[in-house]
Amino acid sequence: MIIELGHYALVLALATALIVAVLPMIGARRGDVAMMALATTGSLVLFGLVALSFGVLTFAYVVSDFSVVNVWENSHSLMPLIYKYSGVWGNHEGSMMLWLLILSLFSALVALFGRNLPETLKANVLAVQAWIASAFLFFILLTSNPFLRLDPAPAEGQDLNPVLQDLGLAIHPPLLYLGYVGFSVCFSFAVAALIEGRIDAAWARWVRPWTLAAWTFLTAGIAMGSYWAYYELGWGGWWFWDPVENASFMPWLAGTALLHSALVMEKREALKIWTVLLAIITFSLSLLGTFLVRSGVLTSVHSFATDPTRGIFILCILALFIGGAFSLFAWRAPSLKSGGLFAPISREGALVLNNLILTVATGTVLTGTLYPLVLETLTGEKISVGAPFFNMTFGLLMLPLLIAVPFGPMLAWKRGDLLGAFQRLYVFAGLSLVAGLVFFYIHSGGPVLSIFGLALGFWGMFGALADLWVRGNFGKVSAGVALRRLAGLPRSAFGTAIAHFGLGVTVLGIFAATTFGTETVTEMKPGASVDAGGYTLTFDGMRDAAGPNYTESRGHFTVKRGGVVVADTWSSKRLYTARRMPTTEAGILSFGASQLYVSLGDPIADGGIVVRIWWKPYILCIWGGALVMMVAGFVSLTDRRLRVGAPNRRTAAARRARLEAAE
């Protein structure tokens, strides 16, 4: 009965979404305040209904109601409770429910916090959000219904895919979706602006916090996913340029560009049309990612075998929204007035360069991801596009961007002084190079060219510090005055500096880990020792153990440095009993930002086993940098001007004037 309630709530949600999709938009055209107000109430009701439905599904998982097909297929009564909660989105139907839940959450947030939005804009934005919600509600109800029943109900479930039985599943998808789907708000704002044919700096001011929030979550989500794959897959890699990863990386790249172009638009009223286009592109890439993963065109071998009707359905949604938005753009964009002139060498110019490179990088990743698919469809020929291609093309594109980053904040708006920026930065550039050299000397080994890679990382970090240094006017005024000046800076200025610093940390981590990392593959018998990264690992032997829903055989390793025991770890191979599926659980030890990574292979004769040990120096910097970027996003979000929002009274007056005119 409760299950049917959830199903029913979902159907009601569809009805609500359809109403919100149509009536407020008509209201906005006619100037009908009551119809427009429907958008706010409707979006809140929609969220309530979807949340109820999602809650019911979660309930079915928690009580292990195997009469529900979805629960039976993806759960097990012995599974730890946390995985019963996170297992809800560990499958196709559930993940679409999470997608929808977050979409309606964002609509509700716009409805709640958008009080000082002009009424017509708010009505249009929420209506566009409701179109998206309607499409996905149709999709879920018609092709991916999580509430289907089984009769008779089986006594036991088939268990959740073992690799998903991890804390990563609890955190990664929600974060990723908060980012992914968060861009829907930017998309809706862009479409609403095109429908109204009006766009101004206030629009950018409303869009920026949403972009920032979505970007922050997406950054965290991707970093979290990368770390999860790193420790779960058991072969020490952290980014594989897999189509599935690219699907989440492309919205991030485009979203990063959007973040920067929205800044130009807010401050200088320039790049309006481009910002609208970018907002559409970013969410289109989110939708494309959903299509690529959900339709099964890319991951046809995995177990969540998706039937073709789903693929075609999502393709239709994709065509409808992307095609529709681009048509609308082509039709209406010429009516948007652009303003804000600037010289090529200026803050705006630097941000345009950022946008150019990030957009080209997005296009490159997109081409590389889809090329094999398209080529095979058109000619039947099969080619592969993998990590070596992306490392080369993407790497080459990022190089000028990373060099340029510290210059951007040094340039003034409208007309900048590149020579002046050089003069302020050359000391920091010199420091970066020296730091790179020292770093390379300490860790020696690896190609000499990597000095420049390391220096590039330091350049990002020092460049960010230089930004604050110059803003505080350190060195020219007394430290106290400079500190007070720093304290008076808007939070968003700190956000910029912190985010750029984080970028530098990540770059440093990437170069350090790839340059100085070592890999040892060897056969070990109990008592044998291996050296890695200045540590000595001794294999103590294997032991069998059992968990709640798996059995494992695990090896114990003692780690010494200079003859002294500093740590110990278990590395294991598990067999999940319900699915008879083996996994590896690597033993990972952190020393500062560096890690020892121990993974087990096949057993050999005499109680020995094949062991693979990686020394990953500074590898934590890769995700640490992303974490810093995430913090920067939150710092920026607390900026006063984002909270205060756009000028209230003026818009209210303008609204009244418009309404009177409409009457």
What residues from 346 to 365 belong to the interface with other proteins (CB under 8 A)? 352, 356, 359-360, 363-364
DSSP state for residue 149 in the 8-state scheme: B
Q: SS3 letters for 468-513? A: HHHHHCECCECHHHHHHHHHCCCHHHHHHHHHHHHHHHHHHHHHHH
526 lies in the site for other proteins, by CB under 8 A? no
CA dist., res. 662 & res. 584, Å (int):
67
For 154, what's the count of Cα atoms within 13 Å in the CB-facing half-sphere?
A: 17
Dihedral angle sign, alpha carbons of residues 292, 295, 298, 299: positive
What residues from 295 to 314 belong to the interface with other proteins (CB under 8 A)? 299, 301-304
19 lies in the site for other proteins, by CB under 8 A? no
What residues from 220 to 239 belong to the interface with other proteins (CB under 8 A)? 225-226, 228-229, 232-235, 237
* Position among 27, 157, 255, 289 found at the interface with other proteins (CB under 8 A): 289
584 lies in the site for other proteins, by CB under 8 A? yes
Nearer to other proteins among residue 157 and residue 225 (C-beta): 225
Question: H or E stretch including 594?
Answer: strand 594-603
Question: H or E stretch including 589?
Answer: strand 587-591
* Position among 389, 452, 570, 591 found at the interface with other proteins (CB under 8 A): 389
The footprint of other proteins on this chain (CB under 8 A) covers a number of residues equal to 76
381 lies in the site for other proteins, by CB under 8 A? yes
CA dist., res. 231 & res. 595, Å (int):
11
Q: Is 79 helix (H, G, I), strand (E, B) or coil?
A: coil
368 lies in the site for other proteins, by CB under 8 A? yes
**Shortest spacing between CB 566 and other proteins, in angstroms:** 26
Residue 626 has which token pair? 């992303």
Nearer to other proteins among residue 160 and residue 464 (C-beta): 160
**Shortest spacing between CB 623 and other proteins, in angstroms:** 13
User: Which whole-number Å values give the CA distances from 530 to 52, 498, 523, 617, in the listed order?
Assistant: 55, 40, 10, 17
**Shortest spacing between CB 535 and other proteins, in angstroms:** 20
Binding mask 137-176 for other proteins (x = CB under 8 A): ------------------------x-xx---xx--xx--x
Nearer to other proteins among residue 230 and residue 462 (C-beta): 230
90 lies in the site for other proteins, by CB under 8 A? yes
* Position among 1, 384, 562, 649 found at the interface with other proteins (CB under 8 A): 384
* Position among 16, 120, 256, 583 found at the interface with other proteins (CB under 8 A): 583
Outline where 333-448 has alpha helix (H). Answer: 347-379, 387-404, 418-443
344 lies in the site for other proteins, by CB under 8 A? yes
Binding mask 170-209 for other proteins (x = CB under 8 A): --xx--xx--------------------------------
* 182: number of Cβ within 10 Å: 28
Nearer to other proteins among residue 359 and residue 432 (C-beta): 359
Q: Is 288 helix (H, G, I), strand (E, B) or coil?
A: helix
Residue-by-residue DSSP string for 25-78: HHHHHHT-HHHHHHHHHHHHHHHHHHHHHHHHHHHHHHTT-TTBHHHHHH--TT
Binding mask 98-137 for other proteins (x = CB under 8 A): x---------------------------------------
Nearer to other proteins among residue 31 and residue 603 (C-beta): 603
243 lies in the site for other proteins, by CB under 8 A? yes
Strand order in the sheet with 564-576: 529-532, 535-546, 550-561, 564-576, 581-585
Question: H or E stretch including 558?
Answer: strand 550-561
